[in-house]
Amino acid sequence: MYKRMKTLYSIVFVILSITFVNANNQLNDSIIQNAQRLYKAQQYDSVIVLYKSLISQGLVSDKLYFNLANAYYKQREIAQAILWYERAYVLNPYNEDIKNNLAIVQALQPDKVEQIQQSMLQLWYPYVYRFCNSNTWAVLSLVFFIGFIVCVLWFLFTKQRVYKKVSFFIALGSLGFAIITYINASYRYNELVKNQYAIVMESSLRILTEPNENAKELVVVHGGLRVKIEKKNGDWVSIRLSDGKVGWVQHFAIEKI
């Protein structure tokens, strides 16, 4: 009875706190404080509501996503927990805590899918382009390009053979760096904004061979599995499992990272 009253109280509090949110920093701070207190009191459902209210304001933070995922994990909602850990991971791929908890939760996910052998480039390239922010890469790219232009002019106007040689190689190098950093910036941007990966949200999901209710069933997977979105066809989405198999599901069964 006492616990029920406590839950009721916290729900009322949550509703009140949501009504008065006006993108006010102080209010947001108090929401975070309260979420922390409720987390300590193991009122995880209320914690989730509080964090969600922050996210619905358009606020982004890897730590916020991480905290939300923790609350979902405590509620044993594996699919939601994995989704938010993945989102936090995309924002900050170098965070130890996110990787650690994601691994723990993924161990609870029942499906075991074979991994396709990835090439060396596929393995280490994400570590490169995630090293900096998309905008940082873009600015770097611009700087290198300016360097390239300057070196070309230097090459054209110098009389000395030595300077010609030096400026030629610097120009070539900075053009290469400009191209690489530009590609990095666009990869990072695509990962953050146009992520192709999604998490299965339904606890048990039939993947079909065709975008049609009566189609043959390819395989049954469970909530929390990471799939790659291939293409869309109306309400149906074609997804690729990590073992390379492709099938169709309805769009609401999965959620993009």
Binding residues vs other proteins (CB under 8 A) = 28, 32, 36, 39, 54, 58-64, 66-67, 70-71, 73, 97, 100-101, 104, 134-135, 137-139, 142, 145-146, 149, 152-153, 156-159, 161, 164, 182, 185-186, 189, 192-193
CB of 70 to other proteins, least distance (A): 5
CB of 7 to other proteins, least distance (A): 20
CB of 236 to other proteins, least distance (A): 28
CB of 189 to other proteins, least distance (A): 5
**Sign of the CA dihedral running 76, 77, 79, 82:** negative
Question: How many angstroms separate the CA atoms of 110 and 239, rounded?
Answer: 19
Question: What's the full length of the chain, in residues?
Answer: 257
In what order do the strands lie in the sheet containing 204-208?
217-222, 204-208, 246-250, 236-240, 226-233, 197-200, 254-256
CB of 227 to other proteins, least distance (A): 24
Residue 5 or 193 with smaller CB distance to other proteins: 193
Residue 125 or 145 with smaller CB distance to other proteins: 145
Residue 60 or 220 with smaller CB distance to other proteins: 60
Residue 67 or 238 with smaller CB distance to other proteins: 67
Question: How many angstroms separate the CA atoms of 250 and 161, rounded?
Answer: 66
The string of DSSP letters for 26-52 reads HHHHHHHHHHHHHHHTT-HHHHHHHHH
Of 217, 193, 214, nearest to 205 (Cα)?
217
Residue 59 or 116 with smaller CB distance to other proteins: 59
